[in-house]
Each structure stands twice: as C-alpha cells, then as structure tokens.
Structure 1
Amino acid sequence: MFTLIGDLIGSREVPDRAAVQRRIGEVLGRVNDTIDTAQLMEPTVGDEVQGGFRTIGDATLATLLVRLQLAPEVDMRFGLGYGDVTVHDDDRRPLLQDGPGWWAAREAIDKLKGKHGTCYVGPDDDENAPHPSFVNAFLLARDALVATLNDRQHRMLLLALRGESQRAIAEVEGITESAVSQAFARGVRAAHDAQVTFGEAG
C-alpha cells in the first residue's frame, strides 16, 4: 500500500487551531469522496493526517488536492511511503496500525526537514512500486511549478483536477474564457497535465 502522512506547517502560529482542524477535516472528507482510497484520509494526532492508497498516482493526487484546498491560509508537507501495513484495531479512529509502509512515510516526511512539499520513500527493487528517484523527480518539479501559481490559479487548477472545463472555470471565477486560457498557458495546464500523466503512468 502507498501510505501518506501529512503535517500541518506552522501549526503553532495558527490563531484559531480549532477552526483549522475543522477545515482540514472537511478537506479530507472531500478528498475521500474524490479518490478511491485504500484507507480513508483522516486526522491523527499532533496536527497530522494519514491515508492509504492503491497507486502512487492517487497518493500524489491526494497531496495536491489537500494543499490546494487549504491554501492560502495554511499548508501541509507530506511524506509518502510504500510497504506492508498492519492494522491492530480497525474500529479505532484514527486507525491503530504500523508496519514498513508507515515507517517509510515517516522517513519521507522526516527527510523534508521542515521544508514545504512532498517526499516519497520506497524500495528501488520492487516491481510493484515505482523507483523513488522517478517519483521524487516528479514531486520536486510539480511542487515547484504549483508554488509559482497565484491564489486564483490554484483555484483553477483544483477545478481542472475535478474535471471542470475552462468555460465552467470562467463562470466560477467570474472572468472571461480568454483570461482562463491565459492562466492555463502560464502554468495551470502544465501542473494539471503533469499530475494526470503521472497518475496514468503510476
């Protein structure tokens, strides 16, 4: 399973932690409705979230959907892993579990060393899992590109990932289709297409 651990950045500086936690819960619920997860995304302890996925494409998409929906007020960093997972109590929430999959995700988030973005730790000799260099090259480029987009472009990217047309996006944003087309040409389309193409490959 592809595992995910997310960590809220700058949580100690958040003025209303309760409001942020409610918002995170709502965002995770929407992601669970969008992606066929192996384990639902859910809050855990210490301003962290977790989830499990059948493909690396779904795992990376989840990180992007969460970040886009939390922006611009708050952000999360993510560690992704791959490996076996043991659930000790599937009635408890959050799930009581461990195993190599979770240790890998923890190692990945520790590798970020407080930075923004996403990191993946997985085996380099398992035919069922992509090579870490392949995944991390994509994540570095994707996250750097998304960081260049402004708040409106983030909203456009989120809508595009949900399958909305440029015409529908223009209506939501209250702007012309031409303005949307220009925004897509300045990075939105590239970020969208990169994520979709990676998902198809992974």
Structure 2
Amino acid sequence: MQDVKPAEHADPCATLIGDIVDSRGAPDRHALHTRLVSTLRRTDHLVAATTALRITVGDEFQASYETLGNALEAAFRIRLGLMPETLVRFGLSWGGATVLDARAGTQDGPAWWAARKAIEAAQAAERRPATHAVRTVYTPAQDDGPSAGAVNAALVCQDQLLSSLDERAMRILQRLVAGESRTEIARAEDVSPSAISQRIRAAGLEVIVNAARDLASVR
C-alpha cells in the first residue's frame, strides 16, 4: 500500500472559487471553455497567485492568493475578460487552508469552506430582484481578515455598475483597464476622444477602475 503523506498546514490565505453563470445554456461550450482557459492564464500572468487558477469541475475554477486584494483583482479581471458574452460569479474568503496534495494542488480547510458558502450566497442573491446584479461575495473564515461589511459594500456597488454597462461601455472599460489612452480607445471605436471622455463620465467607468484599484490594495 502506498504511504499517505500528512497534510501540510499553510498560513492564512485568500481563496477564490468562481463559476460560469448558466454555462449549460452556452451555444458553444467548447468555445466557452477555450475562452475561460485563456482568460485564467492571462489573469495568472497579471496577478500573482499562491496557487494558480485552475479549472476543477465543469466550468468551476479556483485559486488562492497571499492577500484578499489579489483575489479581488483576479476576480475583477476574469469577469471583465469574459463579459459581455459570459457572466461569472465568485465566492471569496480569508482564512486557514490545508494542502492535501501539493503536487496536484488539492487543498481544504476553513477558507475553502467559507468561499463555497460565499459563492452559494452570490447565487442566491441573483434570484432576488433587489440584488439580481450581485456576482461577487466575500465571507471571511476568521476574524483577523479584512472586514466583510466594508468589502461586500464595495463589491455590491461594483457589481451594480458593471451590470449597467452596454457593450460599447464595456469595451471602453476593458481598454481602460488594459492601460490604453483615450486617444487609442477613440481610434479603436472610430469616434472622437471627447466622445470617449463623455462616455467614460456618463457610465462611471473611472469610478469602476478606481474602485477596482482600491480593492486590489486590500490586505
């Protein structure tokens, strides 16, 4: 019989569980999977992870991070990278995690259990009219992590703003986050820079960008 290695206990970390909203209804599930893999790889390149993003079952994926801010930034970039065609929900947590198999990347522990509760809370919120735009919920597993009330208040507002964007505003936001200038965005959209500035103000795109930057700094 093969010896079973003892579990390794890790320091507290931020955990992220994500899944595709209504993935079974996608017209081309193969294309959706390809886009998801590409987006996760790109996010791993941009946001340092303790355990890299990986697809677990179906269209569900997960990763762990040194800080909650990193996990929040990863969630934002994944969501932005898949919108508007594909919607994603996220459950995040902060707390202890246990490495069951370092080679396979298998983990367990309070931070993962709480992240699971968080994504279930996000799914439940989507079914209520008042909170139908909620896609991201944070549930800490221990008291020394960032405040759940403050983080979730910001996330509710971020989700509401993102849900209100039309396709052009979404494209402009994606280009802003990618670091493009307003002149470059105007050229890509075949409009004037002043028209881009007006759309940025009207849609609150700078608010979204600045809020995401502030959330990324949460420790």
Q: Any residues of structure 2 matched to 1:115-154 within 5 Å, and which?
A: 115=126, 116-123=134-141, 125-126=143-144, 129-154=145-170
Instruction: Give the match for residue 84 of structure 1.
Output: 96
Contact 2:114 2:141 in 1 (8 A): no
Q: Structure 2: where are the runs of 5+ without partners? A: 1-12, 127-133
Question: If the length of structure 1 is used for normalisation, what is the TM-score?
Answer: 0.91
Instruction: Give the match for residue 167 of structure 1.
Output: 183
Contact 2:111 2:141 in 1 (8 A): no
Instruction: Give the match for residue 75 of structure 1.
Output: 87
* Count of residues in correspondence between the two structures: 198
Identical amino acids, percent of aligned pairs: 38
Instruction: Give the match for residue 199 of structure 1.
Output: 216
Alignment deviations for residues 79-102 of structure 1 (CA, whole Å, 9 cap, x no partner): 00111222222222xx21111111
Distance in 1, matches of 2:50 and 2:190, equals 37
Q: Structure 1: where are the runs of 5+ without partners? A: none
Question: If the length of structure 2 is used for normalisation, what is the TM-score?
Answer: 0.84
Equivalent residue in structure 2 for 1:155, among 157, 165, 171: 171
Distance in 1, matches of 2:15 and 2:42, equals 18
Equivalent residue in structure 1 for 2:114, among 94, 97, 104: 104
Alignment deviations for residues 42-66 of structure 1 (CA, whole Å, 9 cap, x no partner): 1110320111122222211211211
DSSP 3-state at the match of 2:217: helix
DSSP 3-state at the match of 2:48: coil
Distance in 2, matches of 1:113 and 1:197, equals 25
**Matching residue's letter, 2:143:** D
DSSP 3-state at the match of 1:125: coil
Instruction: Give the match for residue 123 of structure 2.
Output: 113
Higher alpha-carbon Rg:
2
Superposed displacement of residue 141, structure 1: 0.5
Contact 1:41 1:49 in 2 (8 A): yes
Superposed displacement of residue 180, structure 1: 1.3
Contact 2:73 2:215 in 1 (8 A): no
Instruction: Give the match for residue 33 of structure 1.
Output: 45
